[in-house]
Every structure is written in structure tokens, then in C-alpha cells.
Amino acid sequence: MTKDDALVAALNRDYRRAKVVPKDRAMLAYSAKLTKSPWLMRRSDVEKLRRAGFRDDEIHDIAAVASHFAFVNRLADGLGVELEGWRRQPSSH
């Protein structure tokens, strides 16, 4: 969507080091935590998004999209689904 291949590559390597605005960094940190360790989520995580400038409806959408992708990926992994032309890379974080 960004048509910025360098940004996409940087985000794939490590979103924490990618050159993004603080609001986007907050969204990425929230999404990563929700994806990797949802049992650690706290109200303070939502408050961080509010302080970064997100409205409640936007926070809902961030949580819904991150959760949906996590669900779909776990379902595909659980069923052994492999996408044609796609090779999953192990995460380095």
C-alpha cells in the first residue's frame, strides 16, 4: 500500500528500527505485543495508543485487525496450509 519498498523491508526486519512516526510506532508496538503475548496486555497498552493520538474506534480497529491476522495465521499453521510461492521466514524477535 505504501509503494515504499525500503520501508516495507525495514518493517519486515524490525519495526522498532524502521523510520516511522511515533504514532505508527505505538500502533506497531501494540500490535506486536497483542500478537506475540496477548496474556500480557493491560489497560495501559490501550492508554499508550490514546496518548499517541488514536481514538477509541481506531484502537478497536487496530486490535481487530491484529487479532484477525493472528487467528488466520494460527489456523493456517495448525492445518499445515502453505501458500503457493510463499515461504515463511522464522522471526528473529
- Please report the pLDDT score of residue 1 as a whole number: 72
86 pLDDT more than 70 = no
Cα(67)–Cα(58) distance, integer angstroms:
14
The residue that leads in pLDDT, 51 or 1, is 51
- DSSP H helices in 1-93: 5-14, 22-36, 43-52, 56-79
Contact 30, 49 (CB under 8 A): yes
> How do residues 31-49 score in pLDDT, each as one tens digit?
999 999 999 999 999 999 9
Cβ–Cβ contacts within 10 Å for residue 24, how many? 14
